[in-house]
Structure 1
Amino acid sequence: MISCKENKNLSFNSQKESVSFVLEKFPMIDKNLTAVRKIDLDSLSITLLQTSNKRIYDEVLVFEKRNKFYAIPFFSNMYADYWNFESDTQPKLFPKTNSTFEKEFLSLVKTLNLTGEEFNILYKELMFSILHTENNLNNKLSFFQNIIYYSSRVAKYKQEEADDCEKRTNIVYEQIYKDYNSKKIMMGSEYFLDKRNGRVYRFENKAKNYNEIKFNIKTYRIDCYTYPMTM
């Protein structure tokens, strides 16, 4: 579980500076980045940067609060250590990032000194307005049950057995079903389906009041690194 108590990071005065910091820290990210989506939220904003190379899927997210900027990497599923996937046994074929999405999100929250209210606004706008994810997955559980979610990015990965992919999505189905039936969703947990990136995010807000920030993030991989069978 992650909570925010002390700010040990420095924000930047421009988007360019914040992105340069990320590219230096994570040199595996392609440096030819362009802003493709932005959402403004009064004193906050989020920008998604992508490379023009359609076969490279690593991205960068830039967050702004009152003209102070902080960027974090938004890697593809190739960098499995960054996502710390639940129930994923696929061999790790790409360099370690030595970080996680949860840790980077915590750094963002601390660096920009977000309030509890700002945190709640920011992560939901990230999910809906920037990533275009879907929620209320209890009404969409059939998407995960006995399904093989073929990825168009298969050429970048080592191929998997279709049966292994089906087992993995069934685990996601069982976890979501269990949480909804145990009322955990009503007590602060929320799932988001990111079809484009082949992931499900589980945000658990453990804060006891609206201005406190205490959370954890679990990520499930649902894409399958194999080619569809043809008859």
Structure 2
Amino acid sequence: MVNAMPTFLNLPQRTAKPRRRGITHVLDKGLPVAEIAPLLRVCGAYVDVWKLGWGTAYLDPGLAEKLRVLDGHGVLACAGGTLLEVAWQQGAVEPYLQWAAEVGFPCVEVSCGVAPMSADDKRALIEAAADRFIVLAEIGAKDPTAEVSPAVWAADAAADLAAGATWVVTEGRESGTVGLFDPTGEVRSDVVDAVVESVGIGTTVFEAPRKEQQAWLIRRFGPDVNLANVAPSDALGLEALRLGLRADTFDATPGRVHVR
């Protein structure tokens, strides 16, 4: 039996699942389903999207059971963008999309981080995938030496949404030192502002694997900011961060405990 959350504290209002704003998107690097099931019994109420990173979904012998467990907790399973990029490179986009639909993925990620595709190629992939899936379109480069232009990111975000994506995901990688972040992990606030001004906060998902990055974004946009590349084991801690139940977002005003 799962105990209901107590109600004696004054906490920020959070959108309820299923939601499109305030999502927590976790990155699965290859967890066995035997570890996922007990984890979701604890934090499933706070997780919205579960990305099977890179091409791990193609290799996972427990994929069918993993997708069943995720669906049982109301969590959207998402195939990683690298897998689709490999399929595109090999001329196997339609077989990939058929496979993803048959095994039961409700979401796919469309990215252009490794394959040499053009912007038009990427938008065509989004359009093809959006007929059958919720599409998360990643913007920004994985290359740490690539120039980061707020104007380009803003334009790419708008174009990806126009092509049919549900969310645009800002590149930060699992390290939190690329794209949206400088090599030290500091947030590039000019990029954040440009993307949000272009497409709005509700459709922007920020890859933010580090606690200090998550806290910065929560303080900036409130508890219902969309955050991605969260470690599965950090999902419950992130919800505490959203609700001002950790020092990084605690409000010391007497009588209140909420996000600053």
Same fold (TM over 0.5): no
More strand by share: 1
More helix by share: 2
TM-score by length of 2: 0.23
TM-score by length of 1: 0.25
